Amino acid sequence: MRITMIGTGYVGLVSGACLAEIGHEIRCVDKDASKIERLLQGIMPIYEPGLDTLVGRNVEAGRLSFTTDLAAAVDGADAVFIAVGTPSRKSDGHADLSYVYAAAREIAASLTGPTVIVTKSTVPVGTGDAIERIAEEANPGIKVDVASNPEFLREGAAIGDFMKPDRVVVGTQTDTARDVLQKIYAPLEAEGAPIVFTARRTSELIKYAANAFLSIKITFINEIADLCEAVGADVRDVSRGIGLDNRIGTKFLNAGPGYGGSCFPKDTLALLKTAEDYQSPIRVVDAVVYVNERRKRAMGRKVLKAMGEGDPRGKTVAILGLTFKPDTDDMREAPALSIIQALQDVGVKVRAHDPEGMVHARELLKDVEFVDGPYEAVEGAHAVAIVTEWDLYRDLDLPRVAGLMAEPVLVDLRNCYTRDQAEKAGMHYEAIGRGGSAG
């Protein structure tokens, strides 16, 4: 099928490349001419394992192309996907739909025949209704069916998530839209992927509900970790003990410094705003947002406490890991941002390393010394904090780290090591949720 993807950000580029991989003809559109030019040269705008190879293969096969010409790209398309950003509005936390609406207006104005407009962007309930009105205003009389098809892509594992999904959710109001989406995803369905068809508003809500629930799991185990530290229990064993209950499951039960990224922070806020607009508050999600924001900054205080008494001003802390999770270069809402700010507020010098995130980190952080490797980061430091669990940081030579440091203090915010490992290397060790634990 002929498909147009509006937006070549994380969702649009991965989705477009994967749809091409399963046999469709994909035209990706972006207003940023420099981004399109780089893509034409095979240069990816994001770091995602395997994406450059996937894009290159499908460009070479003639199934994937890039352009800034939206009108030409939508001409003759069976479906046009909107995959533009929906950041949180700073004023009220609601999803900023200006990019979605602008794309919908331009798509509709360019159409010369019937098509299906599909929202791939994460949008609040009722956005599909608004897109229908916009399309009618922009091009009266043109036949447009609007569908919702939310993405469930984990950064760092997005290609696998798309090609072998837990489920594909499609929300439609017409048989035409349902039939088109059925044909688009037929190759995945043939491989066993469940296709969940719902009403459009239900589909829009599913994405927010899913991310809110995962945020709740993360925040729950983080608060249990605090309790473990207080009572002398080990959160790793608690996580295993509850996660083996198949009603709960093992995923998203790793305690850490709080959630971040492009989805959970903005989606929980947008869900709360929708709930407020419809006078149906979701108090548990409200509490999760409150707790998570305060936890990230509290991790900075945890590092300071591990450094012991005395004025920390002028001391150096090495931060290992800046992105919100490994295998991505995404710095959005990363816990490292709040941790570093908390340290800098009391006069601590920060030296940092991340395998992929330092380009974006330099745009967001001031007065941070960025270095080329973890051992350069810890040299002369009074503490080192592991903030992102990159594999590189799980296999450090701890005796070497201790020997390079001014004070061998390891604050393991991702529980990458055991107390025995650290102490045998001559380090003072603090972790998450492992009160009194030698492991």
Query: Alpha carbon of 298 to those of 184, 301, 382, 414: distances in Å?
Result: 46, 5, 19, 15
Q: How far apart are CA 212 and CA 74, in angstroms?
A: 34
Tell me the C-alpha distance between 316 and 310, whole Å. Answer: 14
Q: Supply the DSSP string of 38-76, one letter for each residue.
A: HHHTT--SS--TTHHHHHHHHHHTTSEEEES-HHHHHTT
316-320 and 144-148: which strand pairing?
unpaired
| Catalytic residue from among 18, 28, 228, 263 | 263
The Cβ-side half-sphere exposure at 217, using a 13 Å CA radius, reads: 17
Whether 28 is catalytic: no
Is the CB of residue 77 less than 8 Å from the CB of residue 69?
no
> Tell me, what DSSP letter sits at residue 146?
E
Rounded distance between C-alpha atoms, residue 128 and residue 138, angstroms: 15
Question: 10 Å Cβ neighbour count for 274?
Answer: 19
Backbone angles phi, psi at 195, to 5 degrees: -105, 120
Long-range contacts of 401-406 (CB under 8 A, 24+ apart): 401/374, 401/375, 401/425, 401/427, 402/426, 402/427, 404/375, 404/378, 404/379, 404/380, 405/318, 405/378, 405/379, 405/380, 405/381, 406/315, 406/316, 406/380, 406/381, 406/382
SS3 148: strand
Question: Which residues participate in catalysis according to the annotation?
Answer: 263
